Amino acid sequence: MIKIDRLKDAVLIVDLQNDFCPGGALAVPDGDLIVPAVNEFIKRFLRVYATQDWHPPNHISFKEQGGIWPPHCIAGTRGAELHPGLRIQGETRIRKGADPAKEAYSGFQGTDLAEKLREAYIRRVFVCGLATDYCVKATAIDALKNGFDLVVLEDAVKGVEVNPGDSEAAFDEMRRAGAIIANSDELSPAS
CATH code for position 95? 3.40.50.850
pLDDT higher than 70, residue 191: no
Asked whether residue 4 is domain-assigned, the answer is no
pLDDT at 141: 98
Of the candidates 63, 51, 54, 26, the residue with the CA atom closest to the CA atom of residue 135: 51
Q: How far apart are CA 99 and CA 112, in angstroms?
A: 14
**64-99 per-position pLDDT tens digit:** 999 999 999 999 999 999 999 999 988 899 999 999
Mean pLDDT of 128-154: 98
pLDDT at 46: 92
Asked whether residue 33 is domain-assigned, the answer is yes
pLDDT at 111: 97
Mean pLDDT of 43-69: 95
| pLDDT interval class at 22 (50, 70, 90) | very high
pLDDT at 79: 98
Q: Give Cα 167 to chain centroid, integer Å.
A: 14
Asked whether residue 3 is domain-assigned, the answer is no
Asked whether residue 2 is domain-assigned, the answer is no
pLDDT at 144: 98
Asked whether residue 191 is domain-assigned, the answer is no
Percentage of residues of the chain with pLDDT beyond 70: 98
Of the candidates 126, 88, 145, 142, the residue with the CA atom closest to the CA atom of residue 2: 126
Mean pLDDT of 137-163: 97
Q: Which domain holds residue 13?
A: 9-186
41 vs 175, residue with greater confidence: 175
Asked whether residue 44 is domain-assigned, the answer is yes
The total domain count for the chain is 1
As annotated, the active-site residues are 15, 96, 135
pLDDT higher than 70, residue 190: no
pLDDT at 89: 83
Asked whether residue 150 is domain-assigned, the answer is yes
Mean pLDDT of 97-113: 96
How far from 57 is each of 20, 23, 31, 50, CA to CA, in Å?
Answer: 17, 19, 23, 22
Asked whether residue 1 is domain-assigned, the answer is no
Is omega for the bond preceding 120 within 30 degrees of 0, making it cis?
no
